[in-house]
A and B are shown apart, each in its own frame.
Chain A
Amino acid sequence: MNPKEHLVIVAGVRTPFCRAGTALAGLDAVELGRAAVTGLLIKTGLDPALVDETIFGCVSQPANAPNIARIIALRSGIPKERPAMTVQRNCASGLQAMTTAYEKLAAGQGEVFMVGGVESMSQMPFQFRHEAALKFAMLSRARGVFSKARALSAFRLQDLMPVITLKLGLTDPVAALNMGETAELLAREYRVSRDAQDAFAVRSHLLALGSRAAITEEITPVYTTGRDVKAITEDNGLRADSSLEKLARLQPIFDPLMGSVTAGNSSQVSDGAVALLVCSERRAESLGLEPLGRLVSQAWTGCDPARMGLGPVTAISEALRAASWKLDDADIVEINEAFAAQVLAVLKCLKDPASARRAGLDAPLGELDHARLNPQGGAIALGHPVGASGARLVLTALLQLRRNKQQRAVVSLCIGGGQGGAVCLETN
């Protein structure tokens, strides 16, 4: 890799992550993305005309905002002459946006990119099922009272039951399993106990609470619209009163009889957006920008869709190999906390030879001590706006490296549909 073609991350901000249906519920994904991009442009003072392309990840694009990246870019004041594209790799869409920028840079298609991810899980719509939609079409085509009445009579009560797209999006169509059910599978196969999961969830909350000041550094406020504008400045998923006893009382939601995955030890359904300004190392120098860090390597791997939670295992292994690092070289490892069971299963696969083999590794990579893993908590406490999380992990990892004067970080996510994504990041 020619060192002049490194992709560096210059700056980043994110909106607060708020539980779906709460503070940010009134803003659509475009507004969230705009708040993040505008906040970043203002914070850096960068001329928007310098942005060569905007690339945003979004899992469930609003029906009224196809290619949401373009709409966010235009509404944030990035000139209309600069193109924009939206990328989708499920839960890693925000990370994909950055790696796509790197590929564009390597291909000589631009040097400065506004990347990030956005998701408004509050505003994922309810739909009519297809059969109902057909009946509506029949009704609209019907002419005359008689045929209208006949078209109407075709409706059944169930036709009016909405399809919840949020639920649909979180279900793997190939394995026919809900994401939570894939986590249950991992908990069974890798013997992750309910207690271990709950302990991990408590850890996430406590770490996030302990790092509140540091986390605030990532955030740009979001201002709601309407007569009474409110400034939303903080994540609202954190629970100061999180404890093992409280978590133990929760019912498993995906397997009520024997399961162990609860709402408390899963990531939260949230709204939020992240924006990162990335560019070539050369451009950063010529613009006089001080980068947060650079992208050293990236890896995307596939695994069994029913065990999608294990995606990070092979992805981390590949990314480390490409960077010629060992797991111990990483000062910080951010693994997205989709489910406590899933992260713990990944840790087991990284350490235990038998599990590593089952997950597709020839040899285990080593033990990942807890001090290096998600030191400021993760999605269980902060929330997981699916399209945005990948970019948040990059931002939080780099800011931690800078604050702790450390060098290397690995960021990884499991991806619905049976994939893993990982990147290695390095500061100077």
Chain B
Amino acid sequence: MNSAMNAIILDPTENPEEDSFVPWSPRKHGPHNAHRCFTKEIDADGICWLTFDTPDAAANVWNFDTLDELDCHIEDLHRDSSVRALVIRSAKERIYIAGADLHAVQTLAPIRMKELLVLGQDVFTHLETLRIPKVAAIHGACVGGGFEMALACDWRVATDSEFTRIGLPETQLGLIPGWGGSTRLPRMIGLPRALDLIVRGKTMKAAEAKRAGLIHEVTAREHLDSLAKKFALRATSARHHHFHFTQLWPLPQVIRFRAKAMLFAKFPWMKSTIAAPAVAVDVVTRGASRSFEKSLALEQEAITTLAGSTMTRSFIGTFLRKESASHKLPAALANVTARPVVNAAVIGAGVMGSGIAYALATKGVRVILTDATPELVARGLSRIEGFLADGINRRALSRKEAREVRDRIAPAHAKVPLQRMDLVIEAVIEEMEAKKNLLADLASRTGPQTILATNTSALSVAEMAAAVPHPEQVLGLHFFNPAHVMPLVEIVTHARTSPETTATAMRFVQGIGKTPVLVQDSPGFVVNRILMPYLIGAVSLAETMHDPWRIDDTMTEFGMPMGPLRLLDEIGFDVAQHVAATMSRAFPGRLPKTHLLATLTAAGMLGRKNGQGFYLHNKAVASPNPALLKHLTPAFREPERAAIVTRLTGLMRDEAQRCLDEKVASSAADIELAMLLGSGFPPFKKLFD
């Protein structure tokens, strides 16, 4: 601060006591530990380096204190003519700025929330109006409020590190970008692209972000500071508010119309509820055709509505719970050592097996994928090749990464030695005898450290475990189909599963980027058990209707990602009946009575797998199957929408309550999380009373 240069130029901040001019500073929120999180250095070239480094925290976040502190620094810079440019960087290893402090957002009173909102907008505008080049030197996650700050800078440069993620994921939490993001981004990269980013809430790697125009340059981490300096030394035209031609009438109006139509088509429940993505469409498009200040005001208004809503609270609550479940172990396992899983084998290269193998290989686990014959293995590998091709098309994978994934999957069709494996997951046919024999055989080929996991969706893990010499090494890892997409894995323990085995499995599931939920060994575990009455209930309801497809429409409007009949098509009628039979054996009289599925199966309808189910799947888009109608016995009156919802969700609620009472999962929160991640049950609807 007191460099030689400053000594020559009369700097009013040099000695504040002598300075008669007291800056107007309206934002002093309580006794904050001033100048704690930012360090400021000014180098010989007159560049001010602000380093954001919250002490004792892995992440930098925005709250009253940090925003205030940044504001003080900006104020200083406004009055310090010796500074030529400003670079804002972070000292954190993985996170640049993670956005707003979510715990704060969740707990703040509405009035304080509004204050925080205004403060953020003002600070970033304050930053934007600094008449020197401002550079955001990004390494690590720069998301939400973090990226909104970067948007207020003139230049954004980022590292190519795998930790660097850029975007505005607010809609994922039931919010919208409210610190100028919804206003600045469309003015910078154009309305359609900005809207797409904001509505989907997608975060991007640096290279992709550069292609999308979010940042200016990407470099290696070692070069970040020098590159930031290069940009800082460029003269910049202090053009604060960009204008993009897509803001011209009538484009925003047209875009709003189309975006909403697409949104509602995909998520019918948004029509009846105030949902963040729909609000984002409104704010961004309306803001684009208004002045900068009006647009900011729209953001404020929207956030005030959203932040107080129970929906947003439940989104944020679920997000925090998911984060915790994805990174922490339950208290009972906190002191248990989990072994790393480096080598794994997947037995069975069917739909589940190949999906699991792919999910593992993409996260760096070396996998042996086996099946009985080379042809069956080849079919599994074909599916994996499909995932890879898809990943490359979506640019989620580079060709190099795809090759690495391929190299990590070693196919085998004979009984190969598995002594070195840390984990063996079986995904063979759902038959107790077959699974028992397989586990016994696996136990004879595996080492003392190998965990044996079964991917059963309903069979008793304890019974399988009894077939091997070391039942404490056996548990269930219930992946959901498609295994490489679905974020949930139910970890099924039985009475004799050792804590080490459970901890290792949980850490492993977290390590492959999925969320584990601990469940007890009981038929159907949590998700299938709660879903089954709902699905069968939907079938029995369909039997009495003229227009059974209305059930699906109703439930998607309620918030389910897919209607129950459509979901049954995906599962396949044979599998569904198999699971239903297992469930009704275990819990007699619990499932609604219906013979429709059996009738349909007898009539040669199996669901998606043979193209004939409640829908016809021969074309790109599924259409209602008229052949269904002759199997129905419609009642005189069609049930009301509300009645359908009450009946079907009631079935789920009852079963969820029973799961809780029987302690199949340890808490209601766990059951809700499992239902959200495993079945897409809307987080803003209550599963428990």
Contacts and interface: CB of A to CB of B under 8 A. Distances in A.
Interface in B410-453: 410-414, 416-420
A231 B410 contact: no
Interface string B392-407: 0000000000010011
B382 A229 contact: yes
B366 interface: yes
Nearest to B384: A229
Given A41-B410, A42-B410, A77-B366, A231 B418 contact: no
Contact of A231 (B377, B403, B406): B377
Interface residues of B, number: 26
Interface string A56-99: 00000000000000000001110000000000000000000000
Nearest to B370: A42
A45 B419 contact: yes
Contacts of A77: 366, 407-408, 410
Contacts of A267: none
Given A77-B366, A226-B385, A45 B417 contact: yes
Contact of A229 (B381, B407, B410, B419): B381
A44 B406 contact: no
A43 interface: yes
Interface string B133-157: 0000000000000000000000000
Given A34-B407, A45-B416, A221-B411, A227 B375 contact: no
B386 interface: yes
A227 B381 CA distance: 9
Nearest to A49: B420
Contacts of A211: none
A298 B532 CA distance: 69
A228 B374 CA distance: 14
Given A223-B378, A229-B381, A231-B377, A45 B411 contact: no
A227 B386 contact: yes
B368 interface: yes
Nearest to A220: B412
A38 interface: yes
Given A42-B412, A75-B407, A225-B385, A231 B374 contact: yes
A227 B414 CA distance: 24
A233 B417 contact: no
A329 interface: no
Nearest to B368: A42
B581 interface: no
A47 interface: yes
Contact of B377 (A43, A45, A223, A227): A223
B389 interface: yes
A230 B410 contact: no
A43 to B, nearest CB: 6
Interface string A22-39: 000000000000100010
A22 to B, nearest CB: 17
A201 to B, nearest CB: 30
A186 B413 CA distance: 45
B102 to A, nearest CB: 40
B375 A231 contact: yes
B404 to A, nearest CB: 9
Most chain A beta carbons < 10 A, residue from B366, B381, B419: B381
21 contacts: A38-B410, A41-B410, A42-B410, A42-B412, A43-B414, A44-B417, A45-B416, A45-B419, A221-B374, A221-B413, A223-B374, A223-B377, A223-B378, A225-B406, A227-B385, A227-B389, A228-B382, A229-B382, A230-B378, A231-B378, A233-B374
Interface of A: 34, 38, 41-45, 47, 75-77, 221, 223, 225-231, 233
Given A75-B403, A76-B407, A221-B413, 10 more contacts: A42-B412, A43-B416, A45-B417, A45-B420, A77-B410, A223-B378, A225-B385, A227-B386, A229-B381, A233-B374
4 closest A-B pairs by beta carbon, nearest first, are A45-B417, A231-B374, A231-B378, A229-B381
